[in-house]
Structure 1
Amino acid sequence: MPSLQQIDQLQADYLEYLADLANLHGVSLMALMQNLGFQTSINLRIQESGVRSLNV
């Protein structure tokens, strides 16, 4: 079983990969994550508040 430090490093590596992918496609990391269906705490707060998110 991986240690918490290994899990943290894997998550950091994955986030860096996603940021690089977003950059290659010329979109923000948030836009990429939304298009991939990620539910972030920011997205959930927006949905709960009833505010429509901007498509950037």
Structure 2
Amino acid sequence: GINVPGATVEIVELLRKNLKPQIKIKASGGIKTKEFALELLHAGADRLGTSNGIALIS
């Protein structure tokens, strides 16, 4: 992994740019809002890890 406090759009974009499409990206850590979750997905994340799942789908 990468030693940062949590997922960032920049890191997800960098990973997506440099990894083969069949390699899936999981973004986790610091995902507290629906807006940020959507940003990560649009940046190329395939799945999210969060302890705020209920808040994200509300």
Give the TM-score taking structure 1 as reference length: 0.24
Structure having the higher helix fraction is: 1
Larger radius of gyration: 1
Give the TM-score taking structure 2 as reference length: 0.24
Structure having the higher strand fraction is: 2
